[in-house]
A and B are shown apart, each in its own frame.
Chain A
Amino acid sequence: MLSRTLRSARWAAPLRVTANSYATARRTVTTDAASAHAEKSAVPAEDDKQFTVSLSPESFENYKIDGPSTELSVSKNELKEMYLNMVTIRRMEMAADKLYKEKKIRGFCHLSTGQEAVAVGIERAITPEDQVITAYRCHGFALMRGASVKSIIGELLGRRDGIAFGKGGSMHMFCKGFYGGNGIVGAQVPVGAGIGFAMKYMGRKNTTFALYGDGASNQGQVFEAYNMAKLWDIPVIFACENNKYGMGTAANRSSALTEYYKRGQYIPGLKVNGMDVLAVKQASAWAKEYTTSGAGPMVMEFVTYRYGGHSMSDPGTTYRTREEVQRMRSTQDPIQGLKQKILDWGIVSEEDIKALEKQAKQMVDKEVKEAEEAPFPESSPGNLFEDIYVPGSEPDFMKGRTLEETHYYSKKA
């Protein structure tokens, strides 16, 4: 009797799995970077006048929630700016790649080529008063949050002009409203929940984006943060940048559930086409609205793709084919997608695009050159012992290794 029950259960299971996978296959989010649509006649002549763009209905997938509208209003200026931003990030990452291969950048370096739409789209949806915290693939976010190319590349090169004075490197970049670049996998997620809690505590109508990768999504602390955030209705958006590969492993080989937007279980989720900057903007704006309205946290998943390896020491072709990368590059590139759209809608001409690209390239080249020429930090105790405390709150002295190395903050070295 028991064996018959077991057997029938075993028979039932595959059927259910097939049905499920079929259902998800039908309802999956597109990764088409150029799926938005706008009537050319609806595009206004003025640069700053808003007009309506309709996104593909497959741009979002919702979990326990109604989700954002596919109607989005933007201005021509915004679109141009988004394009410029994405090209600038791409140029900067390429410059970092080159410097790394020239051995001028040492240590860790994780590039986000292919994922530019996420950083740009989020930034276009939030204000400087909102907060962002992310993992170590952080150059693009740092740039969007207001850091200069010079300070980012300078940081990679270990220069005094770097954003963390040359002490942090690729993983540790901070500026106002941006809590870094964090080196420990997944550790930024509970910190992000804490920042969100601070927003709630201070009564500010601001949200926090806590970004993490698909590789980090299986960390236990991510789920601890979910629990607390839901328990206290913290305005935080847990945003998983699913670039389909962790460090050397495909997402479906490392995660039992690859629908990361459903990972919140009791938290509503939203899956977004992370290759379309407009979809990212629309979803992020909606998520900000949702979380700051007091409804509690939200889980987002940006489906995106990275062209490079996980880090500089990963060729990136051992766990996926070069053809796959090239196919994504040629068909789903976020920059090419937006370029095609704004050309189609008559917002820019080919010459304008060339000019924008040239502008980005020249800006990046100039700042990279400046960063390369910038000095290394002086090896003085003053430099070593700074930044441990907020200026003005230091103790009288900090101990070094020996008595002579004791540093007195009052005597400015």
Chain B
Amino acid sequence: MRTTASINAASNLNMPALSPTMTEGTISSWKVKEGDAFSAGDVLLEIETDKAHMDVEAQDDGIVAKIMVKLPGVSIYPSAFMQLLKKLLSPQVEAGTKVVQVGSRIGVLAEQGDDLGSLELPSEDSPGPGPQSAGTQSAKKDTASPAPEDRPAQVESSAKSTPDTSHKHAAPKTPHTSSPSVVHLLRTHGIAKDDISRIPTTGPKGRLLKGDVLAFLGKIQKNWPKELESRINKSEKLDLSNIKIAAPKKKAEAPKKVEKVELPKNTEVKLEISFSEVLKVQSKLQAALGVHLPLSSFIAKATTKANKNLPRSLLPPSTSELFDEILGLPPASPKTTRGSFIPQITVLPSGPFTSSAPPELDIIDILAGTTLTTSAKKTPPPTMGITATGPNIISLVVPAIEEERAKVFLERFKGYLEKDAGSLIL
């Protein structure tokens, strides 16, 4: 916190910039009093900036000689009346206590051992508020006058190569270096130096933009750069004024509909069958050859035979069929195919012949909560197995589109077993 002026025993304590972007700060509180000694690292005062509260540490040992900017109403002006009085008496000090610019004096520090009574206060090193930014100073200098000594080489070198473009940095309105596209445009159209200063600029801080040059040249509409500028200016800041708070979400939502899933519908095809013919053949065989051929082998044989040469299935072709097609093998017969039905045989003591029973209550119906009227009429539970004497029921559960095919199969199956049982022996 010391000034470089080594002649002065006392040095000014200026408002420090505690962050690169800080330009001003408010003193929250002094942690030391006038006359206090402090050592390096001690907190002298607390500063509040637009971003944070920060402590100012002493860099070196010393004594507080004088505090220039005090807190209003805390340490020295206890009453509101006194504050008002103070405001009236010295408005500039009052203004200073509110917000202190970086670099302006807030106190004087002396070295340890100095006599505060006889101490000569140094003059303020920063005349007037405002950061003593070297950068801004030089920038100001650049803006004020194009500083001939700053640019001679640039102008000279470009003058050597292309004399008519030496003006490009000299436009008084544009202290900035123009962008390459602008420089290029100016050069290709040979715009004179005087004309450049007459081009209205719309860029930030009066920068000459490509659009400005194009408008000047008449290549685009004259008002377009202005429009663009106003549009950019408008969208520079996010306008949140028209935002409304959304209404709370409705709690009561309609109960979810149970979606019906379309399952492939199956139908059952039934046919009554009698095994009396088969049994006759079986006993004949037993008598003639002494061989007992079980009923199941008759059924198996009949199934195999009935499956042959069925009408073509309406179902999508199976993988083996597709494979055969790829291999180029012709189907055995284009009209008919081999089926793969396996009939279910149940004993039904009574009941008429039914080709297709109404669909039974399935899981979808239960989920949907719909009751089928037919479900009320319960058929007696069928018993598995075969009875030799009474009628049996052969049934098939197949997809709906296969129904016709299944019927053909069952008719044939029945035919083999009832009328042509003898052929099943071989």
Binding site for B on A (CB under 8 A): 94-95, 97-98, 100-104, 106-107, 157-158, 307, 312-313, 315, 317, 322, 325-326, 329-330, 361-362, 365-366, 368-369, 372, 376, 378-382, 401-408, 411, 413
Q: Is the CB of A379 within 8 A of B16?
A: no
Most chain B CB within 10 A, of A103, A330, A407, is at A103
Q: Is the CB of B154 within 8 A of A102?
A: no
Binding site for A on B (CB under 8 A): 1-6, 14, 16-20, 39-43, 54-55, 59-60, 102-103, 131-135, 138, 149-154, 156-158, 160-162, 165, 168, 180, 183-184, 187
Once the chains are docked, how many angstroms separate the CA of A379 from the CA of B155?
12
Known contacts A94-B60, A402-B183, A413 near B153 by CB under 8 Å? yes
**Min CB distance, B268 to chain A, in Å?**
56
Q: Is the CB of A379 within 8 A of B55?
A: no
Q: Is the CB of B134 within 8 A of A313?
A: no
Q: Is the CB of A380 within 8 A of B20?
A: no
**A103 CB contact (under 8 Å) in B39, B103, B152:** B103
Known contacts A376-B138, A404-B168, A369 near B151 by CB under 8 Å? no
Closest to A327 in B: B41
Closest to B179 in A: A401
**Min CB distance, A4 to chain B, in Å?**
50
Task: Supply 27 A–B pairs (Cβ within 8 Å), ascending by A.
Answer: A94-B59, A97-B59, A98-B1, A101-B17, A101-B102, A102-B16, A102-B103, A103-B102, A103-B131, A103-B133, A103-B134, A106-B20, A107-B20, A315-B55, A365-B4, A368-B4, A372-B4, A376-B134, A376-B138, A379-B151, A380-B150, A381-B157, A401-B180, A402-B180, A402-B184, A407-B157, A413-B156
Once the chains are docked, how many angstroms separate the CA of A100 from the CA of B40?
18
Which A residues lie within 8 Å of B5 (CB)? 365
Most chain A CB within 10 A, of B1, B42, B59, B165, is at B59
Given A94-B2, A313-B19, A362-B6, 7 extra CB contacts under 8 A? A98-B1, A98-B3, A101-B17, A101-B102, A307-B41, A404-B157, A404-B161
Closest to A382 in B: B153
Once the chains are docked, how many angstroms separate the CA of A104 from the CA of B151?
24
Q: Is the CB of A317 within 8 A of B153?
A: no
Known contacts A102-B132, A157-B134, A361 near B6 by CB under 8 Å? yes
**Min CB distance, A358 to chain B, in Å?**
9
Q: Is the CB of A380 within 8 A of B43?
A: no
Which A residues lie within 8 Å of B132 (CB)? 102-104
**Min CB distance, A29 to chain B, in Å?**
24
Closest to B131 in A: A103
Which B residues lie within 8 Å of A102 (CB)? 14, 16-17, 102-103, 131-132
Most chain A CB within 10 A, of B19, B42, B153, B180, is at B153
Once the chains are docked, how many angstroms separate the CA of A62 from the CA of B60?
36
Q: Is the CB of B41 within 8 A of A315?
A: no
Once the chains are docked, how many angstroms separate the CA of A312 from the CA of B150?
32
Q: Is the CB of B150 within 8 A of A378?
A: yes
Which B residues lie within 8 Å of A403 (CB)? 161-162
Once the chains are docked, how many angstroms separate the CA of A188 from the CA of B165?
44
**B20 CB contact (under 8 Å) in A312, A369, A381, A411:** A312
Q: Is the CB of B4 within 8 A of A95?
A: yes
Closest to A378 in B: B150
Which B residues lie within 8 Å of A381 (CB)? 153-154, 157
Which A residues lie within 8 Å of B157 (CB)? 381, 404, 407-408, 411, 413
Known contacts A307-B41, A325-B41, A413-B153, A103 near B17 by CB under 8 Å? yes
Once the chains are docked, how many angstroms separate the CA of A95 from the CA of B3?
8
Which A residues lie within 8 Å of B43 (CB)? 322
Once the chains are docked, how many angstroms separate the CA of A107 from the CA of B3?
21
Once the chains are docked, how many angstroms separate the CA of A315 from the CA of B180?
42
Closest to A307 in B: B41
Which B residues lie within 8 Å of A106 (CB)? 20, 135
Which B residues lie within 8 Å of A401 (CB)? 180
Q: Is the CB of A98 within 8 A of B2?
A: yes
Closest to B102 in A: A103
The 8 A-B pairs at the shortest CB distance, nearest first, are namely A101-B16, A380-B153, A413-B153, A365-B6, A404-B158, A103-B131, A94-B59, A103-B17
Which B residues lie within 8 Å of A366 (CB)? 6
Which A residues lie within 8 Å of B18 (CB)? 101, 315
Q: Is the CB of B150 within 8 A of A379?
A: yes
Which A residues lie within 8 Å of B161 (CB)? 403-404, 406
Which A residues lie within 8 Å of B42 (CB)? 326
Once the chains are docked, how many angstroms separate the CA of A361 from the CA of B9?
13
Most chain A CB within 10 A, of B6, B135, B184, B187, is at B6
Q: Is the CB of A404 within 8 A of B149?
A: no
**Min CB distance, B316 to chain A, in Å?**
53
Once the chains are docked, how many angstroms separate the CA of A329 from the CA of B187?
63
Which A residues lie within 8 Å of B59 (CB)? 94, 97-98
Known contacts A102-B103, A315-B18, A322-B43, A404 near B55 by CB under 8 Å? no
Once the chains are docked, how many angstroms separate the CA of A94 from the CA of B134?
19
Once the chains are docked, how many angstroms separate the CA of A380 from the CA of B149?
9
Once the chains are docked, how many angstroms separate the CA of A107 from the CA of B133?
13
Closest to B54 in A: A315
Once the chains are docked, how many angstroms separate the CA of A313 from the CA of B16?
12
Which A residues lie within 8 Å of B60 (CB)? 94
Which B residues lie within 8 Å of A104 (CB)? 132-134
Q: Is the CB of A369 within 8 A of B180?
A: no
**Min CB distance, A383 to chain B, in Å?**
9
Known contacts A101-B17, A104-B133, A315-B55, A380 near B40 by CB under 8 Å? no
Which A residues lie within 8 Å of B150 (CB)? 378-380
Which B residues lie within 8 Å of A361 (CB)? 6
Once the chains are docked, how many angstroms separate the CA of A381 from the CA of B54?
42
Closest to A312 in B: B20
